[in-house]
Amino acid sequence: MYATGGDIMTDISSSRSIAQLYEADLTWVDGRFQRDVRVAVDTAGRIEAVGALDGNVTQQLKGKALLPGFVNAHSHAFQRGLRGHGETFVEGAGSFWTWRKAMYELVGRMDETMMYELSRQAFEEMLAAGITTVGEFHYLHHDASEAGFAFDDVVLRAAADAGIRIVLLNAYYATGGIGEPLQGGQLRFGSRSVSEYLDQLDALAARMTSQTQSLGMVAHSIRAVPIENVMILQQESDKRGMVLHMHVEEQQEEINACVDHYHHPPMALLNEHVAVSSRFTAVHCTHSAAADLDLYLEAGGNVCICPLTEANLGDGLANIPRMLHHNGCVCLGTDSNARISMLEEMRWLEYGQRLQLQQRGVCVDDAGQVAPRLLEMATLNGARALGVRAGAIRKGAWADFVTIDLDNAALRGSPDESLLAALVFGSGNDAIAGVCVGGRWFDF
Ligand SMILES: [Zn+2]
């Protein structure tokens, strides 16, 4: 519902909480672009009101369309350092596992400076791609001493300096494979025990003061965390009111190892042992069996798909129609950051399915439209998975926006009704004119 103009005038004159009043040519509200919409933002960086508001516009966003800022629900920022590497295959076909070897080599060379610079680079590229919130799935905790969690603060500092909103999804990592000790680069990921991990999490929580930073929990994967510990982490995340993320069924080899050890694939194991809810996000689910996925989605679990990374690593294609059939909450992540573009993630989620199913229009909403549903994945659904009030231009949400340049060549001539589809299917990061994170603007 829109606030009335009268209400907002009273607000502006009687209290000083309204800091800014924005007006773009077009604003994405209630699932479509609308004209003559103003957005009031308070001094805390939250949206105070949206609609035909009175008052002096403090920022006229002329020639721009205003969208909610994109939410990147799954990133490993340091992997930005692998971009362009490992794309030569002299010994024949590579795989996820040969890529992982290259990633471990990068881990072995990582010091604080490199970790900061790669993370900051990735976060700045995200802002330029319209991403205002990142869920940083952070498992590279230690410097060469293999203890001390020094890199946790480094990532938070890089995010603060770049200006992006971050949910630090801090990872618990205990085994090098199911029942195997950590080896080599993995020693930089490990916690000695669940209690050491929780102590570090709580120490970070106590230091977290910025409004643009919050914490979530992670069980890295069934390869790295015994199911008994996943259960403990889930209970602890409930106690703290934090989200819990986990890599699930990205690779067939992981599923085979899990069946060998536990006699069930990872998703079935989770359904049986863990209280899945809307606070739980399974990342990838590339090879999940339909029946396991059904149970997981019915319990309210979120799924994060990372189309560009899954393509780059040759993972395969997830069963998106099944997820959508259950009205499942699908969100998007840039994962390995081999390419950072949320517009391309949206486009390729749909295109991968079109190629596989040989049909057009897979991620459709009730009106048969694709682009609004993809945008929902890139905004609201990501915000739900990360537990942040963002992803929509409405009262109470953080004032996180992306502005689109309506003069961009790729968008020229698009009528209001098809502008979003033109953006998602026909344009790139250069159509993004700026972003706003909690009321702070960045222009590109
Ligand atoms: Zn990942």
Tell me which residues have their CB within 5 A of the ion that is ligand 1: 335
Burial zone of 329 (CB within 10 Å; 0-12 exposed, 13-18 middle, 19+ buried): buried
Question: Catalytic annotation on 220?
Answer: no
pLDDT in tens, 398-444: 999 999 999 999 999 999 999 999 999 999 999 999 999 999 999 99
pLDDT in tens, 365-397: 999 999 999 999 999 999 999 999 999 999 999
* Cα 332 to middle of ligand 1, angstroms: 11
* Cα 283 to middle of ligand 1, angstroms: 7
* Cα 326 to middle of ligand 1, angstroms: 24
Taking the C-alpha atoms of residue 420 and residue 398, their distance in angstroms, rounded to an integer, is: 22
The helix (run of H) or strand (run of E) holding residue 23 is: strand 18-29
How much is the pLDDT for 14?
Answer: 38
Distances (CA, A) of 306 to 55, 74, 96, 159, 333: 42, 8, 14, 21, 5
3 state DSSP class of 321? helix
* Cα 150 to middle of ligand 1, angstroms: 21
Candidates 233, 255, 257; CA nearest to 245 is 233
Q: Cite the residue boundaries of each domain of the chain with CATH code 2.30.40.10.
A: 5-69+392-443
How much is the pLDDT for 113?
Answer: 97
* Cα 122 to middle of ligand 1, angstroms: 15
How much is the pLDDT for 209?
Answer: 78
* Cα 248 to middle of ligand 1, angstroms: 10
Mean pLDDT of 235-249: 98
Q: Alpha-carbon torsion 275, 277, 281, 285, what sign? A: positive
Mean pLDDT of 168-188: 96
How much is the pLDDT for 17?
Answer: 60
Q: Are 404 and 411 within 8 A, CB to CB? A: yes
The pLDDT > 90 percentage for the chain reads 89
pLDDT in tens, 21-78: 999 999 999 999 999 999 999 999 999 999 999 999 999 999 999 999 999 999 999 9
pLDDT in tens, 63-96: 999 999 999 999 999 999 999 888 888 777 888 8
Q: Cite the residue boundaries of each domain of the chain with CATH code 3.20.20.140.
A: 70-386
Buried b (16+ CB within 10 A) or exposed e, 115-127: bbebbbbbbbbbb
Q: From the candidates 284, 287, 292, 400, which is the catalytic residue?
A: 284
* Cα 239 to middle of ligand 1, angstroms: 25
Q: Which residue has the higher pLDDT, 79 or 208?
A: 79
Q: From the candidates 25, 152, 315, 335, which is the catalytic residue?
A: 335
CATH architecture classification, 5-69+392-443: Roll (2.30)
In the numeric block, which tokens belong to residue 104? 């471990």
Torsion angles phi and psi, residue 202, rounded to 5: -70, -35
Q: Please work out, in degrees rounded to the nearest 5, the angle formed at the alpha carbon of residue 78 by the alpha carbons of 74 and 82.
A: 105
In the predicted structure, residue 16 carries a pLDDT above the cut 80: no
Q: Longest Cα pair distance anywhere in the chain, in angstroms?
A: 71
Compute the half-sphere exposure of residue 272: CA atoms within 13 Å on the CB side of its CA: 11
Q: Please work out, in degrees rounded to the nearest 5, the angle formed at the alpha carbon of residue 343 by the alpha carbons of 217 and 397.
A: 55
Q: Which residue has the higher pLDDT, 156 or 88?
A: 156
pTM, 2 dp: 0.95
pLDDT in tens, 323-372: 998 877 999 999 999 999 999 999 999 999 999 999 999 999 999 999 99
* Cα 247 to middle of ligand 1, angstroms: 6
8-17, 81-90, 238-247: range with lowest mean pLDDT: 8-17
Residue 36 is which amino acid?
A: D
In the predicted structure, residue 178 carries a pLDDT above the cut 70: yes
**Residue 210: alpha-carbon gap to chain centroid:** 19
* Cα 334 to middle of ligand 1, angstroms: 9
Its CATH class, for the domain covering 70-386, is alpha beta
In the predicted structure, residue 166 carries a pLDDT above the cut 90: yes
Question: Catalytic annotation on 407?
Answer: no
* Cα 74 to middle of ligand 1, angstroms: 6
